[in-house]
Structure 1
Amino acid sequence: MVHWYESSIDRQLREAAERGEFDNLEGRGKPLADAGRDYEEDWWVRDWLRREGATAGVVPPTLALRRDVEDLAEKVDRLRSEREVRDHVAELNERLGKARVGLMDGPPVVLPPRDADVVVAGWRERRTN
């Protein structure tokens, strides 16, 4: 007597195949696009660019957001007033909130919001030096 275990996922796949749900899939019988390639760390970026028809100069919004966080001091140093700095930080924090809950395309972002008082203090200090 042979005992075998079929997981819920395996059962669902088997039943779907028996119903013919995989018979007319797009690309059936064609090789996988990346088969045989060496592993690349940024494979998902290349795949996203290809799927979205984007150019190499375009990145997913969450990656652009990460870059904006890294460049925050440089960006606010170009602003002329404390109000502009606070508005910039508020807009950045709003985008960070959307990214944390998955409302933006791209890899997940777990960056905390930026403290406007800390950013303003740094902005003031750099202006006096």
Structure 2
Amino acid sequence: MVHWYESAIDRQLREARERGEFDNLEGTGKPLRGHGREYEEDWWVKDWLQREGATSGVIPPTLALRRDVDDLEAKVDRLRTEREVRDHVAELNERIRKANVGLMDGPPVVLPPRDADQVVAAWRERKA
């Protein structure tokens, strides 16, 4: 005689299946979305955005931060004074700090703070 253990979850699933709760689900018998396509490293981010109904202009704060870090040079080039550049870097670094310790929504990020003196020096060179 074979005895097998049925966990509470297994029992709930079996009972739901017996009641027909899994019959006629949307997508039954169809391949999984994306099956056969080339693997994309950030597939889960795109999938999450789609599931959450995010439009192309709305992204999680941590991803927006990554974009802001990538666009730092272009952003500071539109600023007029060194004070504005330093303030921008300080604000960016505060957002980086919050993201690095998990105080921002979205996928986790680990970003180094930006050195305000280096950003200002590069800004001055480009202005010259």
Is 2:7 aligned against 1:14? yes
Q: Quick one: distance in 2 between partners of 1:102 and 1:125? A: 35
Q: Secondary structure at the match of 1:48?
A: helix
From 31, 35, 39, the equivalent of 2:32 is 35
Determine whether 1:112 maps to 2:112: yes
After superposition, what is the alpha-carbon deviation per residue over 1:54-79, rounded to whole angstroms, capped at 9, x for unaligned?
11232222222112111111110110
Q: Normalized against structure 1, the TM-score is what?
A: 0.70
- Superposition pairs for residues 46-65 of structure 1, below 5 Å? 46-65=46-65
Q: What is the RMSD of the two structures over their aligned residues, measured on CA atoms? A: 2.9
> For residue 103 of structure 1, what is the aligned residue in structure 2?
103
Query: Alpha-carbon deviation of 1:35?
Result: 2.0
Taking structure 2 as the reference length, what is the TM-score of the superposition? 0.71
CA shift in 2, pair 1:34/1:72, >3 Å: farther
CA gap 1:21/1:124 in 2 versus in 1, 3 angstroms: same
Alignment coverage as a number of residue pairs: 114
Specify every segment of 5 or more residues in structure 2 that has no aligned partner in the other structure, as ranges.
none
